[in-house]
Chain A
C-alpha cells in the first residue's frame, strides 16, 4: 500500500516539476539537440530513409534509430497538440519511468528496505550531480532517454533471471525498441550490454543454474538484435561505406583519441570529483552562478557524504548479495570513469588503443557516469537506512534521516525544481539565460514559401559559419545551427566535419562577401540566397548581416540576384538562372583537379558558371573520360629560403646557443649516466609530439658534444667517439624525422633545428652532413643551389596525374621558376612526366599591397595610435612589422580587431615587451590571417594592464592598472601578404560547347531518382548527381545493368558522377543501396516484434492457466 503511495508521489511530483518548467508555454532547446520539438515531422522525414537531404545530403546511419520515437511524437503532433505540451509530456514520461524503475529495482534487490528509503534512492537518482550536468543541463535527448531506460532495462532483465522466466528476456528487448532513441549513441549500446553481461556473470559466479542463465542471456541478445535489426543493419552498412571510411581517415586517429582521452581523464577523472559524482569543470571553471554554490569549501565536502555512506554499507553488509552486486558495479564504474588516470589506467588505455570501437569512450566521465550514478542510488538508499538504524538515539536518528532527505531534495535537488538546470550563462555578460527558445513566425512563412517554389534545389544561407549559431529571437537560442530543422528545403547554412561537405563549404565560406560565391551555386544545385539578420554575428564570428545585405544590394544591381521575399529578419534572393544547374545534369567536359576552389578554376578556364563542366578527382584520372584540363595544386609548398640563409649568417656560438647544451662529452666518466638520465626522461614523456621534440633536442645535444670535442679537445679518439654518437643517433632517429617533417605540428620546429644542425655540421666538416642534407632536400626543406638574394623562394611539390605540357596558373605572381635545375621565365610552358615534380618559384620581395607605412611614431599613454583598414572580400594574410624601443614602461599590446570580433576576443593580440635591460631598437614582425566575412580591421596599440599591489599582508590591495608607456616605433609597415601558392595547369584550349544530350529526372524519395536521357553523341559523357558522394549510390540502366564502380567518380568536390557511354534514349535509376538493407531490417524488426509480443502473451496465458490448475 505504501509502495503505491510512493509511486503515486513519483507520478505527481514529476508532473508538477514539468508543469513548472513549461509554465511559459515555450519549448526548450539548446546545444546539440537544437529545437527538435519545433518541427517533429521534419525529424521523422530525416530518420525515415537511409539517406536524408540536410547539408549536401548524407547517410542517416544511426539516425534511423530515432524513427519510432519521431513517428510516435509526429502522430501526437498530428492531433494538433502544441509542441511544448509534447515536449513536457516527453520529459514527464522519462522522469516517471526513471523514478518508478529505480523504486522497483531497489525493492527487487532489498525487499525489506523501508519505502521511504527506497524513495530516497529514487530522489538520489533523479537529482544527483551526474543527472544534473551530464543529462539535463547537457540537454541531449538520447542521454535523457538512456538515463530513464537504464534502470528499467536492468529491472526487466534481472526479474527474469531471478524468477527464471524467459518472458522477461523478450520484454527487455521489447523495451529497447520503445526506448530505442537512447541507442542512437554507440557508447550507450555498449554500456547497456556491459550491464547485462556484468549481471549475467555475477549470477553465474554466485548462483546455480548456469544452463538457464546462459540461455536467458542468449535469448535477450538474439531478440535484441532481431527487434532492433532496422538500425543495426544501417549501422553496419554505414560502417562499411566510403563516407564512413573517409570520415574516419579525415577526422579520427587513434593518436588523436588517445590525446583526448588523456586530457579528459586529467580534467574529469579525478577521484575527488568522481566519488562526489561531480563533473570536474562544470562547478569550478566559468561556472553558472547557481552552480558555484556547490564549490564553496564546506559545501563541496558535503559531496562526499553519499560515497562515505556507500563505502560504509559495503563494509558492513558485504555478506549481502545485493550489496556486492551494486558495490562491485559502483567501484568498476569509478575505475572506468577516471579513464587512463592511475591506478591501473594502463588497462583502460590498452583496450582503448587496440579496439577502435572503444574509442567512443574518449570522454569516460560523460559516458560511464551513467553507470556510476545508477549504481550509487541503491547503495545510498541502503546506506542511509542501515546507518540510521545504527544510531541508537531516536532524536539523532530522526535528525540524520531528515538531513539526508534535505541533502538530496534541497541541496542536490534545487536546480531541478527551480528550473535552473535549464539555464546557461552568457560567457561575456555572465547573464543567466533560459533554454526556452521561441522560433519567430516568419520562419514558418519562409519555409512555406520555399516549399511552393518546388523541389530539387537548394539555397545557401549567409552569413555562414561553423556548426553553431546564436539567434537573437525574443526568446533567444544558442546551439547547433538550425536551418535543417527550420526549413524543409535542403540548404547549406553551416559547416561541419562531414567528409567532402566540409571541404567544399570551407571554400564557399571564404567567398561569402564576394560575388565569386556565385561560381559555387551551379555545382551546389543552389537557386536561392537567404540572408538572415537575426543572429548574433559577433558571438559566432561570422559576417555581419548588414554587410551581407549591402553586398546583396550590389549583386542585385549587377543582376546576379533578385530579391524575392522579405519576411521578418529573413530576406530571400533568387540567383540568376545562369548560376543554376539542376540536381542531375550531363557534362561532356571534365576538369581533373585535386582542389575545389571553384572561383579560381572558373577564372582560369574563363567559363561562365552555367556552362556544364564537371570537376573530377585527379586520383581517378585513369578511369576518367572527356578530359579537357588538368589543374594541380602542390601537396607541399614551403618557404625554403629563410632558415638556411638565416642559419648561415649566425656565428658558431650563436648556433650552439640554439641547441641543447652538452655538459659531458663522450669519453667522460659520467657520460653513460647522463645518457641514462636522458633515456629515463624520454621514457617518462607521454605525448608522442613532445617525445619527438625531445629527441630532436637530444640530436642537437650530440652535435654540441661533437662541436665541443672538436674545438676544445685535442683527443682524436674522443672526437671520433662524438662523431659516432651523433651519426648513430641520427640514423636511429631518421625515420621519425621524416614523419615529423610531414607533421604540420612539428614541421616548422624540425626544419628550423635540423638546418641549424646542418650548418654547424658543414662548418665542422662532419661526415654526417651529407646524410642530413639529403634528408632535408628530400623532404623539401632545403634549397641551396639558388641564391635567394632579394627574392622569396617557394618550393612546391606536385603530383602530376598525367604527363604532358603544363604552365603556371598565375604567372603574374611569379618572376621565375626552376625546374630540373633550369631557371625559366614564368610564362614558359614545360613538359612534365606523370608522378612527383619539384619546382622552385621565385618572386621579388617587394610587397605591393602595403596598407600602411610610416617611418617613425611615438607612443604615449595619451596618444595611442590606431588605424582602420578595409579588408579584401576574401580572407587574407596580414603582415605587421616594425622596430621598437622603450623609453618608459616595459611592454605594450598590439591588437588587431575585425568588425566581426568581440571586444575581448580580437583576431590577433600580442604583447611586445622589453628584453631585460636592453634599451636599444628591436625588430618585431608577425603574420596572421583574417576571418571569412570580416569587412574591416582595426589595428591598435594599447598599454598593457598589470596588477599593481600596495600595502602588505592583509592590508595588501591589488588593482588592474595601465602602466606608464613611452615608446618609439620606426619602419612600421602593415601589408597584405600575397598568396604565393602556385598551381599548374595543362595546356590546350577548353572546348566550351555544352553537351547536346537531353535529360529529365524525377525524385521518388530521398534514396531513389528516375533519370531519362536522350544522348545524341556516341562519345562518353558524365551524368552528374549533386548529392554527397557515397559508394552506396548506384546508377542502373533500364535493363538492370549497373554502371560499374570504376565509372563512378567524386565530382565537383562532393557529388557523384557516372560515365554514360551508351548513345540513345535511356532510363537510369539512381538509388542509394543501403535503403534496401533498411527495408529488409524493418521487415525483420516488425515480424520479430510481433512474434515477440505474441510469445510473451502466449507464455503469460499459459502460465496463468498452469497456476490456476495447480
Chain B
C-alpha cells in the first residue's frame, strides 16, 4: 500500500514536472517565433509531445481509442483550417494529428496482441 502511494506520488510529480516543462517550452517557442528568432524548435516539440503520450499511456493506462479519437478530431480541425487557406497552421495540426494516430495505431496493435495472448491462455 505504501509502495503504491509512493508510486502514485512519483507519477504525479513526474507528470506535473513534465507538464510544466512542456508548457514552458511551448511558451519559449511562441516567444522565439514572435521575436522572429531563427530557432528551429518544432522538432524538439514533437519529441516532447511523444514523451507526453508515453507518460499518459504508462502512468494512466490511456487506451488507444483516446489517442485515435483525438488524432481524428485534430485531423478534422486541420481540414477546416486548410479549407480557410491557413495552410501552415493546418500542416502543424496535421503533424500533431499524425503523431496521435500513429501512436494510437501502434498501441492498438499491442492491445490486439495482448488480447490474442489472453485468449490463447
Contacts and interface: CB of A to CB of B under 8 A. Distances in A.
A334 B78 contact: no
A1006 interface: no
Interface stretch (A117-125, A308-316, A748-756, A1021-1029): A308-316
B98 A315 contact: no
A680 B50 CA distance: 24
A681 B37 contact: yes
A206 B112 contact: yes
Contact of A315 (B69, B111, B116): B69
A334 to B, nearest CB: 6
Contact of A345 (B38, B43, B85, B102): B43
A335 B91 contact: no
A334 B105 contact: no
A470 to B, nearest CB: 35
Interface stretch (A317-325, A837-845, A944-952, A955-963): A317-325
Interface string B76-100: 1011001101010011001100110
B99 A343 contact: yes
Interface in A342-401: 342-346
A343 B43 contact: yes
Given A308-B76, A314-B68, A324 B112 contact: yes
A342 B113 contact: no
Contact of B42 (A297, A312, A342, A680): A342
A275 B102 CA distance: 13
Interface in B61-78: 64-65, 68-69, 71-72, 75-76, 78
Contacts of A331: 98, 101-102, 105
B101 A314 contact: yes
Contacts of B43: 342-346
User: Interface majority SS on A: helix, strand, loop or mixed?
Assistant: helix
Nearest to B80: A301
A315 B76 contact: no
Nearest to A312: B72
B5 interface: no
A816 interface: no
B39 interface: yes
Contacts of A312: 72
Contacts of A677: 37
A271 B79 CA distance: 11
Contacts of B108: 314, 318-319, 324, 327
Contacts of B75: 275, 307-308, 311
A321 B109 CA distance: 8
A416 B49 CA distance: 43
B54 interface: no
B27 interface: no
Contact of A272 (B49, B72, B91, B113): B91
A151 to B, nearest CB: 22
B113 A318 contact: no
Contacts of A681: 37-39
A830 B76 CA distance: 79
Which of B37, B79, B99 has the largest number of chain A CB atoms within 10 A?
A: B79
B33 interface: no
A270 interface: yes
B82 A272 contact: yes
Given A311-B71, A331-B102, A342-B43, A684 B38 contact: yes
Given A270-B91, A271-B94, A345-B43, A311 B101 contact: yes
Given A272-B87, A685-B38, A311 B72 contact: yes
A342 B97 CA distance: 12
A810 B115 CA distance: 85
A1012 to B, nearest CB: 67
Nearest to A325: B109
Contacts of B90: 272
Nearest to A340: B43
Contacts of A304: 79, 82
A277 to B, nearest CB: 14
Interface string A674-693: 00010011011110000000
User: Interface majority SS on B: helix, strand, loop or mixed?
Assistant: helix
B46 A324 contact: no
A677 B32 CA distance: 11
Contact of A334 (B39, B85, B98): B98
Given A314-B105, A315-B68, A328-B105, A684 B39 contact: yes
Nearest to A319: B112
B4 interface: no
Interface string A11-23: 0000000000000
Nearest to B78: A272
A315 B72 contact: yes
B19 interface: no
Nearest to B107: A318
Contacts of A206: 109, 112-113, 116
B106 A328 contact: yes
A298 B83 CA distance: 7
A345 B40 CA distance: 13
Which of B38, B78, B99, B106 has the largest number of chain A CB atoms within 10 A?
A: B38
A1106 interface: no
A918 interface: no
Interface in A518-554: none
Contacts of B116: 206
B94 A272 contact: yes
B97 to A, nearest CB: 8
A343 B46 contact: yes
A314 B108 CA distance: 9
B102 to A, nearest CB: 5
A315 B39 contact: no
A308 B39 CA distance: 33
A684 B109 CA distance: 37
A156 B11 CA distance: 49
Which of A308, A312, A315, A344 has the largest number of chain B CB atoms within 10 A?
A: A315
Given A272-B78, A315-B65, A342-B46, A327 B72 contact: no
A211 interface: no
Interface string A772-788: 00000000000000000
Contact of A205 (B64, B83, B113): B113
A876 B101 CA distance: 59
A660 B68 CA distance: 50
B109 A301 contact: no
Contacts of A272: 78, 82, 87, 90-91, 94
A331 B107 CA distance: 13
Contacts of B105: 314, 318, 324, 327-328, 331
Nearest to A274: B94
A477 to B, nearest CB: 37
Nearest to B109: A324
A324 B115 CA distance: 14
B27 to A, nearest CB: 17
Contacts of B109: 205-206, 324, 328
Which of B37, B82, B104 has the largest number of chain A CB atoms within 10 A?
A: B82
Contacts of B69: 315
A312 B69 CA distance: 9
Nearest to A334: B98
Interface in B2-38: 37-38
A349 to B, nearest CB: 10
Which of A301, A311, A321, A335 has the largest number of chain B CB atoms within 10 A?
A: A311
Contacts of A343: 43, 46, 49-50, 95, 98-99
A730 to B, nearest CB: 24
13 contacts: A270-B91, A272-B87, A308-B75, A315-B72, A315-B104, A318-B108, A319-B115, A331-B101, A335-B98, A343-B49, A343-B98, A681-B39, A686-B40
Closest 5 CB pairs of A and B: A343-B46, A271-B94, A318-B108, A315-B68, A684-B39
Given A324-B108, A342-B42, 18 more contacts: A206-B109, A206-B116, A270-B91, A272-B87, A272-B91, A275-B75, A307-B75, A308-B75, A311-B68, A315-B72, A318-B65, A328-B105, A331-B98, A331-B101, A342-B95, A343-B50, A684-B38, A685-B38
